[in-house]
């Protein structure tokens, strides 16, 4: 399963992400990971969720983010959910095409390995393609 949280700044995306993370901890089995810039969610999410500051790793491209997600699963086979906050901060010079590419990759990778993804994108929903809208 892939879920997209999309909206402009101030639309409540972070609040929704926090709610989704804490609900998943109660309802899902397996390990959960949240990739974000910094550690602003540290006190808002359950301590059982592994919080990763992407600035600690050299992730600046779409392929690097995909590889990082795959590497997480390779190192911990019981991950059930990966949450990714602020997609555009992770992937430099990304646009809506990169969002679509990543979401489709998450869908295929998630089906193959039995994991879910929740991705937060700061962009107007009106910019979403039909393929992206399927994840909203």
* Dihedral sign of CA atoms 10, 52, 46, 22 in order: positive
User: If you classify domain 2-133 with CATH, what class do you get?
Assistant: alpha beta
User: Using one digit for the tens of pLDDT, what is the confidence trace for 6-30?
Assistant: 999 999 999 999 999 999 999 999 9
pLDDT of 38: 87
Return the pLDDT at 81: 98
Question: Given this model, what pLDDT does residue 116 score?
Answer: 98
Query: Quick one: pLDDT at residue 30?
Result: 93
Domain boundaries, the chain: 2-133
Contacts of 49 (CB under 8 A, 6+ apart): 21, 25, 32, 33, 34, 83
- The model's pTM is 0.95
Question: Which phi and psi (to 5°) does residue 101 adopt?
Answer: -60, -45
- Tens-digit pLDDT profile for the chain (136 aa)? 999 999 999 999 999 999 999 999 999 999 999 999 888 999 999 999 999 999 898 778 999 999 999 999 999 999 999 999 999 998 989 999 999 999 999 999 999 999 999 999 999 999 999 999 999 9
């Amino acid at each position: 399963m892939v879920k997209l949280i999309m909206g402009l700044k101030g639309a409540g995306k972070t609040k929704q992400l926090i709610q989704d993370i804490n609900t998943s901890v109660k309802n899902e089995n397996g390990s959960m990971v949240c990739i974000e810039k910094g550690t602003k969610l540290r006190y808002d999410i359950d301590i059982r969720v592994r919080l990763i500051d992407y600035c600690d790793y050299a992730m600046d491209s779409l392929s690097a983010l995909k590889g990082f997600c795959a590497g997480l699963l390779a190192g911990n086979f019981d991950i059930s959910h990966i949450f990714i906050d602020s997609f555009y901060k992770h992937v430099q010079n990304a646009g809506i095409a990169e969002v679509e590419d990543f979401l489709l990759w998450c869908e295929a990778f998630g089906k193959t390995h039995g994991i879910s993804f929740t991705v937060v994108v700061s962009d107007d929903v009106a910019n979403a393609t039909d393929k992206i809208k399927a994840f909203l």
